[in-house]
Amino acid sequence: MTSPSGSIVFAGALWRGGCAAITRRLVSTSAPLQRRFPRAKLPPNRDLLPRSERMAVAVTDKPDSSRGVPRPDGGIQYHGFIYYPRFPDRPDPPVTPAKLHRIQLIAPLQGQPYWIKDTCRQLGLHEGRSTRTVGAVNVVKNIPEVNAMLYTVKHVIRVDPITFPDGQPANDDLDGWQLLEDGRVVRNAAMRVTPVVTEYDRLKLAPATVRERLRLRWIKPFSLDEKRTV
């Protein structure tokens, strides 16, 4: 029997095993894929199953690889890579993970494989076909997807967690902060920008004044006195 979506459903097939008749129900994937790959073990189409059988087919209890899953060979499975500690019997000290990472390219990309250059380009450390980008700096998030990319190019970059010894800056206090090479964000009075009022700023019209004058010009374009202040 063929469903409207193009999938084939085999229901009610009887298998004679001895004296007992066993009802077997199989749900395959789309018919075009099965005709093209007849021997492939394609995943079942769970949308055609009832709710009870759909829950049985679903994959359950996947390990959380973002926090690390130990492996039999001594490695730790993370999202996208396997980490092998240098001293397995020595536990890592407790540390509070940073929300951001400061990354810097410390080795030239000339002679590196294309996937290394593509990863550095996605991280913002490589532009175009130029390989002379040593010293490029960027700030990335500390999330599993980005950490997997950093692990791939760990031999050509330097990673420093960003910390705030003087406290995190507020939304209304973003002026006068400096990111150091070791990842610390500190206050620096020399980095504070002092606004300078120029003659152009003094003669600049307010947005409300411009909107009002344009409105009057649209209503009475020929009777508006240019010398009149609105």
**DSSP character string of 36-60:** HSTT--PPP-GGGS-HHHHHHHS--
* Encoded amino acid at 131, one letter: T
pLDDT computed for residue 214 by the predictor: 87
pLDDT computed for residue 118 by the predictor: 92
Instruction: Report which of 112, 134, 110, 114 is spatially closest to residue 122, judged by C-alpha positions.
Output: 114
CB 150 within 8 A of CB 101: yes
Where do the domains of the chain lie? Answer: 7-57, 97-161, 195-230
Query: Domain spanning 97-161 has what CATH number?
Result: 3.30.1390.20
Instruction: Report which of 32, 50, 52 is spatially closest to residue 42, judged by C-alpha positions.
Output: 32
What residues does 27 pair with on adjacent strands? 9
Strands 137-141 and 157-161: unpaired
What residues does 217 pair with on adjacent strands? none
CB 105 within 8 A of CB 138: no
pLDDT computed for residue 53 by the predictor: 56
Which residue numbers in the chain have pLDDT < 50?
A: 1-29, 57, 59-60, 229-230
Would you tell me the crossing angle of helices 144-152 and 114-122 to the nearest 10 degrees? 140
The H or E element containing residue 200 is helix 199-203
Name the residue with tokens 């390990």: 63
- Token pair for 12: 């009610």
- Per-residue pLDDT reduced to its tens digit, 118-136: 999 999 998 766 555 788 9
- Per-residue pLDDT reduced to its tens digit, 154-193: 999 999 999 999 888 888 888 888 899 999 999 988 888 8
- Predicted TM-score (pTM) of this structure: 0.53
